[in-house]
Amino acid sequence: MIDKLRAFLKPMVKSFVAVGLVLTLIFAQTGDALAARSGGRIGGGSFRAPSRGYSTPSGGGYGRGGGYYPGGGLSPLFWFLPFGGGGGGLFSLLIMLAVGGFLLQTFRRVTGGDSFEGDVYNPQVSIAQIQVGLLADARSVQSKLDQLAETVNTDTPSGRMHLLQETSLELLRHPEYWTYGKTSTQQAKLDRAEAVFNQLSLNERGKFTTETLSKVNNQLRQAEANPVLNSTGELATVAPEQERAEYIIVTLLVAATRSLELPKINGESDLRQALQTLGSVDASALVAIEAIWTPQANGDALTTDDILAHYPDLKLV
């Protein structure tokens, strides 16, 4: 009886062992690909609508009809009101204002609500993203971003403009390190553009486990990088023959009140054009910017497995 039971269980035990070995290999490879990585972030901006405050025109005066108009004296409208500008004149003015308001609301409904006020206080915002994959030899790019984090004032329009131009220029100066690229653009009204921008930012920041350097709205934060461990819990090391398979990913996020048309990346010329277009956004149109890069800590680099796991949409340049 026992021999029969052993004969029955033996194939099942072998099957369980085989499945266990396969799962071990899968999770071991995944553990290496998803090892802790450092990252940096610089940015700032404001998605607030322009002020709706009203300033009283200079050189004006109040007429006897009670209505203000520039230049002082009697309002020209006063002479066309019945009853000589007395109580009847004021009553007629109120009626005219009501009729004017009704006509304005009708105009807004006919034009689909795209009124002057909507254009001014809730304009269309373009949100563009460029990702550049660089060989790990491009350490000067990391150093430049570290320097910008320490020096640029991201709380001012001029500082954000400086960050955009310097980051774009640094990437343009090193095409010999370009390996991957990707662009994307989308449109949103100002009142929801911040949510779209933040979602894109969080998606990229979620790809590394430690934000070792951060400066947003001029608040600098630094943290020690966690040691990178492999699937067995040991300190991960890269063999010399694997050094060529290490990468740096730089992401530029820009929100602007002007149209941003970026080409799809199919080669170096497309990536160059995209960087030049984004870097030329003027300060008056720049709403917000973030430069995000990984890895940030010295000695840390992305492997080919990291690229495949976290950046599957990147195109070879």
Q: Which of 20-34, 128-142, 253-267 is least confident?
A: 20-34
Instruction: Return d(Cα 317, Cα 314) in angstroms, integer.
Output: 9
Q: Would strands 315-316 and 178-189 be described as parallel, antiparallel, or unpaired? A: antiparallel
Instruction: Return d(Cα 259, Cα 206) in angstroms, integer.
Output: 28
Token readout for 198 is 């933040």
**Any bridge partners for residue 126, and if so which?**
187, 256
125 pLDDT exceeds 90? yes
Token readout for 254 is 């820009």
Alpha helices by DSSP H, listed for 173-246, are 190-205
Q: Round the CA-based radius of gyration of the chain to a whole number and report it.
A: 31
Provide mean pLDDT across the span 127-150. 95
Find out whether the peptide bond into 263 is cis, omega within 30 degrees of 0: no
Residue range 224-239, pLDDT digits in tens: 655 554 444 444 444 4
Write down the mean pLDDT value for the chain.
76
Q: Is 74 exposed, middle or buried (0-12, 13-18, 19+ CB in 10 A)?
A: middle
Q: Which of 261, 250, 257 is nearest to 290 (CA)?
A: 250
Provide mean pLDDT across the span 248-271. 96
Cβ–Cβ < 8 Å for 262, 183: yes
CA distances from 62 to 6, 29, 93, 98 (A): 107, 80, 15, 21
150 pLDDT exceeds 70? yes
Question: Which range scores top for mean pLDDT: 81-90, 93-102, 138-147?
Answer: 138-147
Residue 156: partners with Cβ closer than 8 Å, 6 or more residues away:
none
250 pLDDT exceeds 70? yes
Token readout for 249 is 């990913």
For residue 20, what pLDDT is reported? 42
Q: Is 168 exposed, middle or buried (0-12, 13-18, 19+ CB in 10 A)?
A: buried
Model confidence band, residue 6 (pLDDT cutoffs 50, 70, 90): low
Residue 296: partners with Cβ closer than 8 Å, 6 or more residues away:
38, 39, 40, 142, 145, 146, 212, 213, 225
284 pLDDT exceeds 90? yes
